[in-house]
Structure 1
Amino acid sequence: MKSLLVFIILTAAITSYSADDQKVKSGLFEVQNAQNQVNILFNEVNPQQQERVRYISQRLALAESYLQQSLNQYPNPPTPQPPPYQPPGSDVKVELFQSDSCQGDLIGIVNASTDCSKFSGAGNVWAIRVNGKCQDIDDTSAINACRLYQNAGNTQAVKVYKSDNCTDSLSGIFSTFSNCESLPNNGNNAWAIMVGNKCQDIADTSLTMSCRAFKAINSQRAVKLFHSDTCNESMVAAIDQNTNCETLLGLENVWAIQTNGQCQDVSDIDVVTACKRFKP
């Protein structure tokens, strides 16, 4: 990190003393190279360091725009854009198979950024393989499997099961970055969720509703709502400051909440009211 900053400072110093176009072009080339290195570095540091790298990227982009203006390439400076955030594991490949054992009939390979529409008409998927591990799934179309499992490589993803103990019947996987509306909203295919290595029983619901309800479950400030007085089962939702309470309409009533690991019995209320009342 320090060596990169020194390089950036030296580049700025060189270009500041440049009076002719050739030197400005050389300085512009060096700034662009530095920006490329910053983009690579962004995905290799922890989230706290990413904010510092993002700031450096913005300053480089601004410096680049000034140099480009000096060469009359742009009448107006472009808006500096930070490197896009990549969720952990978003580049992990998820293989889709028309085989319960992942031994043959590979339908396709997807990840979090895949455009699933390209799998229209590609056949059905019976199993997925992530990091060498095969997982049998309920048979579904390739386009649907892509939408359901493309986030499987995300280490912060939430796995949804049509099973109270998370041992079989993987229904789908979503993350903070998922479009919940692209998931099936018919039937009660979500009975439990797995976050990390912990299985949590939830109030039975659809995949779409489970995505809306538990997108915030990894948030440090999340407040968990339960259809249970003891907070041991039937979790209804996990909410934070970004939760849209109205989207939870239709979920079970709330009997207790859990915040900072402490369970608190509450007067039984509907989930939307509970969300608005206890939202952090």
Structure 2
Amino acid sequence: MNASSPAAAAAAASAPPAALLDRHDDDGVATLTLNNAASRNSLSEAMLAALSQAFGAIAADRSVRAVVLTASGPVFSSGHNLKEMTARRADPDRGKAYFADILARCSAMMQQIVTLPQPVIAAVQGTATAAGCQLVASCDLAIASSAARFCTPGVHIGLFCSTPMVALSRNVAPKHAMEMLLTGEMIGAEDAFRFGLVNKVVPAGEEHGAAISLARIIASKSSLTVRIGKRAFYEQLDMTLAEAYRHASAVMTENMLARDAEEGIGALLAKREPRWEDK
């Protein structure tokens, strides 16, 4: 049938809209793809809800051992949907309650990534700005295309990137974070690597494959061990040195009693591959 025929046009018009967020599972790795290139994958109300729902489902899904977060189109994410936010200036309170609510929802979603039992790897193919840069910084690991770019440009429009600052300042050195926040200038993938925002830079087009390869390495480990380690890593960050060692020692003691630790150590001593039971 000719694509321009009335029947084809009617079918296209009645087709359901593409999902804002696609999920694909393969051998223990869940790939989430931001799929709204037309809005530069902005973190709109709908996208925030879709991400929050997806992370909630993955947290309870023991078949998922690692997550890759990627995006369609030339932009990874442009951050908050400023058109949605600006429209609420017509509210009686000039949007104050709405702004507080949307920022709280975004912050809660970012924290879901940190508290998710499974590691999350960002595969960044394009630009990640403002809360989009925050999204990358919130992930446990990040692979960037050589074409990727990053910035926190709020100062250009009179709006300091205060919430992106939280994730950014926990990933990069303070002076690098302040440089990004105070200038709002775009940095390239190599600078992002040098700053510590991403783990690796790969040729354009290879970022998704590299992230999947990394996810599969993680997925091959005991999911119990990975879950224990990820939680302990974030818990000890804000502790004093002595507190961190006490906490880590307690965690490691309990970990030693797990079946997988007994199996893994036994396999090492017996020079064989371990058989994980994730318990």
TM-score (normalizing by structure 2): 0.27
* Relative contact order higher in (CA < 8 Å, ≥ 6 apart): 2
Hey, which of these two has a bigger chunk of strand by percent? 1
Hey, which of these two has a bigger chunk of helix by percent? 2
Q: Which has the larger Rg? A: 1
